[in-house]
Amino acid sequence: MRLSDPDAIERIAEVLGATYGVAPFEVPRPTEDQLASEKGEPVYQMSFKSEELGRPLLIILWPSLGRVDVRLGESTWTLRSVSEVELYPGVEVLFRREQPPAFLLVSVQGRVSLVA
């Protein structure tokens, strides 16, 4: 599945047991003649409690940019150029980048791993 697929955000949140919604900011459209009233590309936020640390885990998904940010306390992991999202219900969500190879794992317990 791609991060930009219509049902991707809902499916990711379902696997992680996270609540989600549209972020209070967006990706601006790169046009010079954009009207002030035109909206940019949506960004989504989801969160759930990390069982590992007992703190909220925040995931910010930028479908139009192929970007995922994960924040846990003072730590942040970012993966750009995400080409594929793999769902493992009851276990984790894997965000994968092809070139250069890298992946970001977020488990249902709130563990986060970034391998590049």
pLDDT tens digits, residue range 8-43?
999 999 999 999 999 998 888 766 555 555 678 999
DSSP assignment of 16-40 equals HT-EEEEEEEEEPP--TT--TT---
| pLDDT in the model for residue 48 | 96
Backbone φ and ψ of 14, nearest 5°: -65, -45
pLDDT tens digits, residue range 45-101?
999 999 888 899 999 999 999 999 999 988 999 999 999 999 999 999 999 999 999
| pLDDT in the model for residue 76 | 96
Residue 114 pLDDT > 80: yes
| pLDDT in the model for residue 30 | 65
| pLDDT in the model for residue 52 | 80
pLDDT higher at 6 or 40:
6
pLDDT tens digits, residue range 88-107?
999 999 999 999 999 999 99
- The structural domains of the chain, with segments of one domain joined by +, span 8-24+41-115
Distances (CA, A) of 35 to 5, 23, 45, 59: 26, 21, 26, 30
